[in-house]
Structure 1
Amino acid sequence: MSGWTAAKIPDLSGRRAIVTGANSGIGFHTALELARHGASVVLACRSMERGQRAHDQIMTEVPAGEVAVAPLDLADLASVRSFAEAQGTAPLDVLVNNAGVMALPHRTTADGFEMQFGTNHLGHFALTGLLLPALLAASAPRVVTVTSGFAFAGRLRFDDLQWEKRYRKWGAYAQSKFANLVYAKELDRRVPDLLSVAAHPGFAATNLQGAGPKMAGKRLEEKAAAFGNAVVAQSAAGGALPSLYAATAPGVEGGACYGPRLAQWRGAPTEVFVNPAAGKTELGRRLWEVSEDLTGVTYEVGAKG
């Protein structure tokens, strides 16, 4: 696994992939490399304008690529259902649950969920469940759910998942990323014939870090985020490598998490240590049941084994 780069991605001709949040950052570079190696890729983006710009840039680099843009707002379950319906049940080989928001001022989704939990976890939970027939129609489907190092600090506040009592933006973010990790493990336990893994980018330079401070009008925090991206972070292309490894490499283990090998900060992807609580079966079961109740999406499959 040492030294793995995007050049080691196998030929993906004949494979179909969907990447959420593919218009920028690690999502863009994930979609670009999947297309470069032959996959048919759908860029699932909230903004069709930004999605089209990403599409055009990918086509410039991969003129023979098979790339499409489709509207998806993970903060609106009606949009998630419309997207899944439009995608149909043609075999889907790879789903990368990449899109996310980070450390926002308090906001709620169209369905009344706290924005970070609603977008980062519940939106992707619903999307994956609705796309399950297409995934299970593929010969060896994979679902990659992008988490974060902040999952180490996360816990599931079942008494206040929506942070209605006292909102803390970083606590809510950590909860959503921990939920991503718990979900990835539980999905692998529950769904036969599907490989579910998690990935995290380390510290990668994207627009995610500055979005929250910008929304809150906190100029100093916004400048600090820009400085960190410029001086400390690895590139967005480097941050995409764990997702690409999880989506394409042989030997990937279900329920595992892949991240940068250098202190989980930067470098080539490897399997990484995560918050051990994420693997607790009772926690996974409880999150799954709550997510079904909140989204109205039920996965019609039996457990593995």
Structure 2
Amino acid sequence: MSPVRFTTPFTRESTTDDVIAGVDLTGRRAVVTGAASGLGVETSRALAAAGAEVTLAVRNLEAGRRTAAEITAQTGNAAVHVASLELTDQASIDAFTAAWEGPLHILVNNAGIMALPERHLTPEGWELQFATNYLGHFALTLGLHGALAAAGNARIVSVSSSAQLVSPVVFDDIHFENREYNEWLAYGQSKTANVLLAVEATRRWAEDGITANSLMPGGIRTGLQRHQENNPETRSIFDAYPWKTLKQGSSTSVLLAASPLLEGIGGLYFEDNNEAEQTTDPGSQSGVHPHALDPEAAARLWDLGVEMITARRGGIA
């Protein structure tokens, strides 16, 4: 974290339209994962409205095509494309990155799943939240490094959560093989990993003109909370939560992706459109835990991700 907390004129109430007002993204290309629903749709719409060429990286192509058509109708920008991407399938990630041609100026790692009530594993034996929220995005980011470097001034946006306060990355048991599965600890460590990705990507790639930041969007009513809304034990908590609108919740992602205020800024964690303060308060609902910004943990996680991906590919990096 910088010695002086990085702040902007924007607040919790600011919207995507506020943070991108006056910004011209003509000639810039963006990829947004999970762009067929929730935050991904609004993030993509705002970038397209500013003139960017936007690729919606989605699991459901039909939903993606509907979303692209809606964004084009709303913004008048016909350069909104759709591409298939399944973050738990290395072959899908490889196909996406292999098909990409030319520079990439903005990568928004937005897709995610939250607090699955039961432990699920990928065919590789990876815990599903870690595999989806972090490892898939890590592999995608690595695969697009050349395109990001070719842009000369590229940004990576890593969507995290206040759940990073709940758990560090437990390197000795990431996949809950030797401890009881807990959906919030699993979600928390995956979101801590999203922050660490931004820290290490900035350290490694700043010389390539690439910066990365992470963020907590705030609470927005989307399909992400479906497991909690259907649970009687958590339903009352969710009903009382101070929710943001979709435009407010997406604003920090758009700020980090497009605002000239962020020129050359990397390795930070934001909430409500400003850099968050560090906290170790176990009861805090805001701020960022030091374990999510730890440079040693960031480097270790990066190396582990490379090792896991390489093993999945049969030793071919």
Shorter-chain TM-score: what band? 0.7 to 0.9
Two-structure CA RMSD over aligned residues (Å): 1.8
Alignment of 1:227 onto 2:272:
no
SS in 1 for 2:225: helix
- Counterparts of 2:291 and 2:210 in 1: how far apart (Å)? 23
| Structure 2 gaps, min length 5 | 1-7, 278-287, 312-317
Match of 1:302 in 2: none
- The answer to whether the 8 A contact 2:152-2:210 is kept is no
The separation in 2 between residues aligned to 1:109 and 1:69, in whole angstroms, is 25
Q: 1:247 aligns with which of 236, 243, 257?
A: 257
Specify the alignment match of 2:113 in structure 1. 101
- The normalised TM-score by structure 1 is 0.87
Deviation at residue 121 of structure 1 after TM alignment: 0.5
Corresponding residue for residue 264 of structure 1: none
Amino acid at match of 2:79: E
Q: Does 1:289 align with 2:303?
A: yes
Q: Distance in 2 between matches of 1:156 and 1:285?
A: 12
Match of 2:275 in 1: 271
> Aligned residues, how many?
282
Residue 237 of structure 1 corresponds to which residue in structure 2? 247
- Percent identity for Structure 1 against Structure 2: 39
Task: State whether structure 2 residue 197 is matched by structure 1 residue 183.
Answer: yes
CA distance in structure 2 between the partners assigned to 1:227 and 1:281 by the alignment: 37
Equivalent position to 1:153, from 155, 162, 166: 166
Partner of 2:120, secondary structure, is coil
- Once residues 152 and 143 of structure 1 are traced to their aligned partners in structure 2, the CA distance between those partners, rounded to angstroms, is 22
SS of the equivalent of 2:96 reads helix
* 142-151 or 46-55, larger mean C-alpha shift: 46-55
Provide Cα deviations, 1:222-257, integer angstroms capped at 9, x if missing partner. Answer: 8557735xx631112211001000111123221112
Distance 2:105 2:135 in 1: 22
Q: Which residue of 2 aligns with 1:55?
A: 68
Q: Structure 1 pair 244/72, CA: closer, same or farther in 2 (3 Å)?
A: same
Which of 195, 198, 202 is residue 218 of structure 2 equivalent to? 202
Give the TM-score taking structure 2 as reference length.
Answer: 0.84
Question: Could you say which structure has the greater relative contact order, defined with CA pairs below 8 angstroms and 6 or more residues apart?
Answer: 2
Ranges in structure 1 where 5+ consecutive residues have no aligned partner: 261-268, 298-305
Q: Structure 1 pair 221/133, CA: closer, same or farther in 2 (3 Å)? A: farther
